[in-house]
């Protein structure tokens, strides 16, 4: 049964070629564009697939031909893709005639045929090595093909310097026909080269490549016969092209790239077995774990974990053999390695927790490996109990002064420095003191004087570097020496200065804010008092003209406007008469004595929207008001009564281009109060 399956299995690929070619041929009767698109898409996908696998495998491919041809097919496929998209009648990319896709076709075939020749020439006999090593030339080769690809597109799509290959109504040009013959010759040379270097390739690959190149030649020759781009010879050429790519796919991907990997995996398995024997006899505990679960552990590993004989370790969680406080860290290290963030984890020290409750300090090294076809982590665990004991003994013998981060000095009665720790050396050396020299007398009181005084003495020392130390001098009269204990108070002193500066700055800001508040409060009080006076003035002033002048004067005072006028509606609808003015030009009275929407467009806006209008006179046409007052900026406030605009206040400014929002909002409030006051005194009728 197995032999029968193997026998018929060999017929699957030829049958697939025949069946798919027949289906493609039938599709051409339905639509040549469908047939052409299917063939081109298939070849483009194959080309891109060959590039993807070749580029991803560049660190493992030793055959220069496979790598060169793999890189070239990215750009060959790119030209074929543009050829397909611009093909006459497809309609995806318009405004091109049949010549352009044919030019792209010829350029792609030249690139393909020449790449085969370069690829075969790059292969050397065993012992000599390839002319090019894929891993060394990968990026240079990619850049060269990129430059060729862009140059071809530029010559065809933009500069239009590529020779014409097809003319509508005439057919193929001489350049196209001779190019197809030249390309066929290049493919023939490739067949000769592969037979010369057949020892460098798998037998099946040589046969399939040769057959593919022969079919490519037939395809190119078929493309020398058609007149129209939809001719029968064109269909035959594309069928041959499809078959050649099927053969090429099997030759390069299956025989050239996939089969070597099968041998590679076989060799890897042998290497793994040799590696296992080395690991098994290693004196260091070695554990291999995947997803946190142990897959392998040598003898010393079981011993360091304190497992009884026969106790199962495979499948156990590696973190469970360590103290609980290390387990999250272990899981994080495993995650970082498994996800590829770390190739090798930093060496760390942890403590193993044995079943009997005993702890063992250990040094752990971990690295990412491939174990039995899966990503795993190999950990080497070393018992550091003896080293820890030695370190602890050294630490217990170390003296406190050496560990003290502050200066510690012992000075004998004659001023000689008996001991100074490292911070003390740094402090004294900034004053020029050197090892073996007595303590500088100008820094501290004499040791003799200190020994005569009971108790301790404290002073401050400012170093040339700017550091400040508080020094406590503790004498021992019986032994005849003085201990000096220093404490760096630089940051404290700087903090005190910074605090003083900050407090001074804060006081200054508070004073400025208070001053601003007082100034603002005065302005607000003045505005409020004006609003309050409106009602009292309306009751006190019975003369309507006098009160109208008062309203206008108050508005000018609030806004600091240089000129203004007050207009009240007249009996004639939508006309406003002048009742009060300030700053009016002598020759401008007639212009504004009686106004309406036709006099200035802002009046229409006041009447319709019943809200303030303001802006530059250049932006908002002030009409006759520009002639009467000549302001650079104005504010027009509506006088409202019974939900209708019964008048307005016009305020003109000669030295302003805008007003703050708060000022404008207060003027709106003033206008409302003024409207009520004018209505109350009867000015609005």
Task: Decide if 91 is inside a domain.
Answer: yes
Q: How many domains, in total, are found in the chain?
A: 4
Pick 269 or 160 by higher pLDDT.
160
Instruction: Give the integer Cα–Cα distance in Å for 108 and 149.
Output: 9
Assess if residue 514 is contained within a domain: no
Region 356-364: mean pLDDT is 88
**Is the separation of the CB atoms in 380 and 279 below 8 Å?**
no
Does residue 526 fall inside a structural domain? no
pLDDT digit string (tens) for 586-597?
Answer: 788 888 888 988
**Rounded mean pLDDT of 40-68?**
78
Q: Are residues 367 and 418 both part of a single domain? A: no
| DSSP states along 538-561 | HHH---HHHHHHHHHHHHHHHHT-
> b/e for 171-186, b at 16 or more Cβ within 10 A?
ebbeebeebbeebbeb
Full domain range(s) for residue 65: 2-254
Average pLDDT of span 648-662: 89
Choice among 4-18, 344-358, 409-423, 617-631 with the minimum mean pLDDT: 4-18
Greater pLDDT, 94 or 415: 415
- Residue 235's pLDDT is 80
For residue 5, the model assigns a pLDDT of 47
SS3 state at 414: coil
Same-domain status, 23 and 156: yes
pLDDT at 614: 92
Give the mean model confidence (pLDDT) for residues 74-101: 77
CB atoms near residue 523 (< 10 Å): 12
Q: What is the pLDDT of residues 277-291, one digit of tens each?
A: 666 667 788 888 888
Does 478 lie in the same domain as 373? no
**Residue-wise DSSP of 83-123:** HHHT-TTT-SS-S--THHHHHHHHHHHHHHHHHHHHHHHT-
Residue the block writes with tokens 């590679």: 264
Please report the pLDDT score of residue 647 as a whole number: 92
Mean pLDDT to the nearest integer, 528-542? 65
The percentage of the chain sitting over the pLDDT mark of 70, rounded to a whole number, equals 80
User: If pLDDT is split at 50, 70 and 90, which confidence band does 1 have?
Assistant: very low
Nearest to residue 635, comparing CAs of 656, 615, 661? 615
Residue 525 lies in a domain: no
Domain-embedded: residue 552: yes
Task: Decide the pairing of beta strands 166-167 and 457-462.
Answer: unpaired
| Mean per-residue pLDDT, 419-427 | 80
Contact 287, 301 (CB under 8 A): yes
Element (H, E) at 201: none
Residue 563 confidence (pLDDT): 92
DSSP 169: T
Output the average pLDDT for the chain.
Answer: 79
383 vs 363: CA distance, rounded Å: 7
426 in Cβ contact with 408 (< 8 Å): no
Do 59 and 186 share a structural domain? Answer: yes
The total number of residues shown for the chain amounts to 685
What span, in angstroms and rounded, lies between the C-alpha atoms of 598 and 601? 7
503 pLDDT band, cuts 50/70/90, is: confident
Arithmetic mean of pLDDT, 391-418: 72
| Helix (H) or strand (E) segment spanning residue 475 | strand 468-476
More confident residue, 226 or 289: 289
Q: Dihedrals φ, ψ of 598, to 5°?
A: -75, -20
How many whole angstroms separate alpha carbon 63 and alpha carbon 568? 100
Q: Kindly report whether the global pTM for this prediction surpasses the value 0.75.
A: no
251 has a pLDDT exceeding 70: yes
Strand partners, 353: 359
The answer to the question of residue 591 being in a domain is yes
Other beta carbons within 10 angstroms of residue 297's beta carbon come to 24
- Token readout for 383 is 């018992």
For 103-179, list the strands marked E by DSSP: 166-167, 171-172
Q: What pLDDT does 585 receive?
A: 81
Residues 555, 654, single domain; the answer is yes
**Alpha-carbon distance values, 408 to 25, 268, 402 (Å):** 97, 62, 9
Q: Which residue has the higher pLDDT, 450 or 279?
A: 450
CATH number at residue 328: 3.30.450.20
User: What is d(CA 383, CA 659) in angstroms, rounded to the nearest whole number?
Assistant: 81
Read off the pLDDT of residues 123-174 as tens digits, 9 standing for 90 and up.
776 544 444 566 667 778 888 889 998 998 888 888 888 888 877 767 778 8
pLDDT at 263: 39
């Amino acid at each position: 049964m197995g032999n029968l399956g193997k026998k018929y299995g060999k017929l699957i690929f030829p049958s697939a070629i025949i069946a798919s070619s027949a289906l493609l041929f039938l599709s051409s009767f339905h639509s040549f564009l469908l047939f052409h698109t299917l063939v081109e898409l298939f070849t483009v996908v194959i080309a891109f697939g060959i590039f993807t696998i070749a580029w991803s495998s560049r660190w493992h491919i030793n055959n220069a031909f496979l790598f060169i041809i793999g890189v070239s097919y990215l750009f060959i496929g790119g030209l074929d893709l543009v050829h397909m998209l611009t093909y006459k009648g497809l309609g995806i990319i318009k405004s091109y005639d049949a010549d352009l896709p044919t030019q792209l076709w010829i350029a792609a075939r030249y690139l393909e045929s020449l790449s085969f020749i370069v690829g075969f020439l790059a292969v050397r006999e065993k012992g000599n090595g390839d002319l090019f090593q894929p891993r060394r030339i990968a990026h240079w080769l990619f850049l060269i093909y990129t430059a060729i690809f862009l140059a071809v597109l530029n010559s065809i799509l933009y500069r239009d310097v590529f020779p014409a290959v097809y003319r509508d109504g005439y057919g193929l040009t001489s350049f196209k026909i001779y190019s197809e013959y030249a390309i066929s010759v290049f493919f023939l040379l490739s067949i000769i080269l592969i037979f010369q270097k057949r020892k460098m390739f798998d037998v099946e690959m040589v046969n399939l490549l040769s057959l593919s190149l022969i079919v490519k030649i037939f395809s190119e020759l078929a493309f020398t016969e058609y007149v129209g781009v939809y001719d029968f010879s064109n269909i035959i050429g594309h069928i041959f092209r499809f078959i050649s790519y099927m053969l090429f796919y099997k030759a390069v991907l299956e025989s050239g790239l996939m089969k070597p990997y099968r041998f590679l995996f076989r060799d890897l398995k042998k290497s793994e077995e040799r590696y296992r024997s080395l690991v098994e006899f290693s004196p260091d505990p070695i554990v291999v774990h995947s997803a946190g679960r142990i897959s392998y552990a040598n003898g010393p590993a079981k011993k360091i974990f304190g497992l009884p004989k026969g106790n199962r370790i495979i499948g156990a969680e590696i973190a469970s053999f360590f103290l609980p406080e290390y387990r999250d860290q272990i899981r994080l290290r495993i995650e970082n390695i498994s996800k590829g963030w770390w190739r090798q984890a930093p060496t760390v020290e942890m403590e193993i927790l044995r079943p009997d409750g005993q702890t063992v300090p250990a040094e752990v090294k971990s690295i990412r490996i491939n174990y039995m076809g899966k990503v795993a982590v190999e950990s080497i665990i070393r018992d550091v109990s003896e080293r820890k004991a030695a370190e602890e003994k050294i630490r217990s013998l170390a003296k406190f002064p050496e560990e003290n981060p502050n200066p510690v000095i012992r000075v004998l009665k004659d001023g000689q420095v008996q001991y100074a720790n490292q911070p003390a050396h740094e402090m004294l050396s900034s004053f020029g003191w050197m090892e073996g020299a007595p303590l500088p007398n100008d820094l501290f009181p004499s040791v003799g004087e200190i020994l005569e005084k009971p108790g301790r003495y404290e002073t401050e020392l400012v170093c040339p570097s700017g550091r400040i130390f508080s020094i406590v001098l503790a004498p021992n009269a019986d032994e005849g020496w003085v201990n000096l204990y220093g404490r760096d108070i630089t940051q404290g002193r700087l903090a005190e200065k910074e605090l003083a500066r900050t407090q001074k700055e804060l006081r200054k800001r508070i004073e400025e804010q208070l001053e601003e508040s007082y100034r603002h409060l005065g302005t607000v009080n003045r505005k409020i008092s004006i609003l309050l006076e409106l009602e009292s003035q309306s009751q006190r002033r019975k003369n309507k003209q006098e009160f109208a002048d008062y309203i206008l004067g108050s508005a000018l005072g609030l806004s600091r406007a240089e000129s203004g006028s007050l207009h009240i509606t007249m009996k004639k609808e939508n006309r406003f008469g002048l009742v009060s003015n300030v700053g009016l030009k002598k020759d401008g009275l007639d212009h504004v004595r009686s106004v309406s929407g036709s006099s200035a467009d802002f009046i229409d806006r006041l009447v319709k929207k019943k809200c303030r209008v303001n802006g530059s006179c250049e932006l908002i046409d002030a009409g006759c008001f520009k002639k009467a007052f000549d302001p650079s900026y104005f504010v027009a406030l509506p006088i409202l009564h019974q939900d209708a605009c019964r008048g307005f206040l016009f305020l003109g400014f000669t030295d302003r281009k805008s007003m703050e929002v708060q000022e404008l909002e207060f003027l709106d409030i003033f206008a409302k109060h003024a409207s009520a006051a004018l209505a109350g005194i009867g000015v609005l009728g």
